[in-house]
Chains A and B, each alone.
Chain A
Amino acid sequence: MITIFGICASSLVGLGLYGLIVHPSPLRKILSFNVLGCGIFLLLGTIARRGADAGLGGDPVPQALVITGIVVAFSATALALMLARSLNDEDDQ
């Protein structure tokens, strides 16, 4: 099970990186960044499961990291979207 999650996580990371490299449009880059982020969070989840002590569902530290990471990624996305939108507005004028 852990292996499958690990493979999923690495695929997401790979997809995200690929998208970041090849897509010229800012919106797609932002989306790729989010895919990459999801991959990393999944990886953290996998690490949490792998490092679980006996009797626990998972190691709580990576889970805490995921929550914080999601908040950071969310703000980053918001900022990037705002910039992309202002850029778009400038283009329209």
Chain B
Amino acid sequence: MTATTVLLATAFGWPLLLAFGLTLRSLRESLPWLLRFAPLPALALAFFGTYNTPVKMASCVFELDAAGGLLLAAAALLWCIAGFTAPSYFPDKRPGAGFTACWLLTMIGSFGVFLAADLIGFLVFYALVSLPAYGLVAHDKTPGALRAGKIYLGFALLGENLLLPAFVLLCIFPSPPPIVPLLLIAGFGAKIALLPLHFWMPPSYTAAPIPAAAVLSGAAVKAGVIGLLRFLPMESTAATWGELLVVVGFCGAFYGVAVGLTQRNPKTVLAYSSISQMGFLAAVIGMGISTHDENAIFLAAFYAAHHTLAKGVLFLAIGANTTRPARIMIPTALVGLGLAGLPLTGGALAKLAVKSSFGFGPAATLASLAAAATAMLMTHFLFRLAGTQKNQPPFRMPPLLIGTAVCLAFPWFGFPLAGLTFADIIAPAAVGKTLWPVLAGVVAAFALRRIRLPEIPAGDILALSEKILPSVRSLASMIARIESLSRRWPTACSLVLVLAITLALLMAFGFSQS
């Protein structure tokens, strides 16, 4: 038994043990306090585990690879920081047992998807990271939260049911039929809120308690990213699918910003920023696929790892409260603009890393524009953050500052792996290239402040989709009418005869054919 095996077992076993601890009345009180320690074994695994050696445990196979390990480390750090703040969000600093259980299960799932190396194991952890999160989204039990939870769960189930046939096809055919990439893109796209499957995200993150929104938008969403990276092989997937991803991704990147700018609730603004960022990431993956560039896997993971921490910290900043706003605004600005590529922040490294995927064509221009758009949305977020009354109980500052530091510094540990050198990063040309979109975005955001934009309801086309509900209802009532007709005695008895005769005739027909 190697150290990696032990770490693997504790990475899953320790949070699971805590979840079982909830059944003991005596432990239930102190458990929320332990949430911050739950991700530690996974963090240790990411740093000290042996890479690229499969480990068989129970009936699953696990393997650490560079992309998965990076995302695992980022996710574990975020779960840890969010775990520090989570209890203080609740009255008496005590979240309910249901919330704690859902938190731990989602965490296990979120680690598992980065580690699972077999199809079924991945699906198990994917379900774990998707479904229990309902308890986090709908935790407040307000009508809005319940509605958001329902929409969230609907999309999670849709994703599951799209992925299941795709995985079966992957399993039984050596060269999967062309429907598989489409199912995978739709299934994982529902998780990362690819256009047009994005409208669950704003209501969910708006409704979720802040710590939950932080881990969901930071860590849990990356299950979809790792899914795309693992199951759409860069070298063998048809380039068409890559192009589709690029187009859909960029549409989402700009659409998210455009709608986000009209939002007033800072949580909703961040949710739209997630739609935008995930769209950008999908475009990175799409470029990798269309150019069959295997490097893109790690680069996309590198970008996603930074987003994990950045988005989590930004959400936590909404809950932070101090007497001196500058103490919160400055770190938040650094992280937020870092997401757009503010030079020398971790975000700039992430941006530089994925820059090579876009080449020099129109895609590169779009990528720079996307960065400018991000800077604009982030500046808008900072305005909204400053202008929002806080009525939640405050978080303590230290975890938030630690989070900021980690977020700014984390990519500095990984950049040599992403093919960057220190000289690349501090070269004036590189600094300039990442700086101008940020400046342009900030200026544009200031300019936009003068214009009052109409507020689009969170979830934008959700309102449209509710228009089709009546027709769904009438279809359902038609089915119900048929069903109640079939439940009448004479109909059912006649159907018995009709079906028996049809079956006999079909057998005769089928046999005469063969």
Contact = CB atoms under 8 A, between A and B. Distances in A.
Interface of A: 17, 20-22, 24
A17 B497 contact: yes
B487 to A, nearest CB: 15
B511 interface: no
A17 B489 CA distance: 13
Contacts, number: 10
Nearest to A14: B497
B140 to A, nearest CB: 49
A24 B489 CA distance: 8
Nearest to A29: B489
Given A20-B493, A21-B490, 8 more contacts: A17-B493, A17-B497, A21-B489, A21-B493, A21-B494, A21-B497, A22-B490, A24-B489
A22 to B, nearest CB: 7
A17 B497 CA distance: 9
Contacts of A21: 489-490, 493-494, 497
A24 B488 CA distance: 11
A68 to B, nearest CB: 23
Contacts of B494: 21
A52 to B, nearest CB: 27
Nearest to A21: B493
Contacts of A22: 490
Question: Quick one: which of A21, A22, A24 has the most chain B CB within 10 A?
Answer: A21
Interface of B: 489-490, 493-494, 497
Contacts of B497: 17, 21
Nearest to B490: A21
Contacts of A17: 493, 497
A13 to B, nearest CB: 11
Contacts of A20: 493
A17 B500 CA distance: 13
10 contacts: A17-B493, A17-B497, A20-B493, A21-B489, A21-B490, A21-B493, A21-B494, A21-B497, A22-B490, A24-B489
B117 to A, nearest CB: 57
Contacts of B490: 21-22
A49 B490 CA distance: 35
A24 B490 CA distance: 9
Nearest to A24: B489
Contacts of B489: 21, 24
A32 to B, nearest CB: 10
Which 6 pairs show the lowest CB-CB distances between chains A and B?
A21-B493, A21-B490, A20-B493, A21-B494, A17-B497, A22-B490
A21 B490 CA distance: 5
Nearest to A22: B490
B490 to A, nearest CB: 5
A17 B490 CA distance: 11
A26 to B, nearest CB: 11
B5 to A, nearest CB: 61
A29 B307 CA distance: 71
B503 to A, nearest CB: 16
A84 to B, nearest CB: 15
Nearest to B493: A21
A14 B373 CA distance: 77
B502 to A, nearest CB: 16
B70 to A, nearest CB: 69
Nearest to B497: A17
A24 B494 CA distance: 14
A90 B390 CA distance: 65
A7 to B, nearest CB: 19
Contacts of A24: 489
A61 B494 CA distance: 32
B488 to A, nearest CB: 11
Nearest to A17: B497
A68 B494 CA distance: 28
A11 to B, nearest CB: 15
B107 to A, nearest CB: 56
B281 to A, nearest CB: 63
Nearest to B492: A21
A21 B489 CA distance: 7
A22 B493 CA distance: 9
A20 B492 CA distance: 11
Contacts of B493: 17, 20-21
B112 to A, nearest CB: 54
A22 B497 CA distance: 13
A17 B494 CA distance: 9
A67 to B, nearest CB: 26
Nearest to A20: B493
B210 to A, nearest CB: 60
B499 to A, nearest CB: 13
A21 B493 CA distance: 6
Nearest to B489: A24
A20 to B, nearest CB: 6
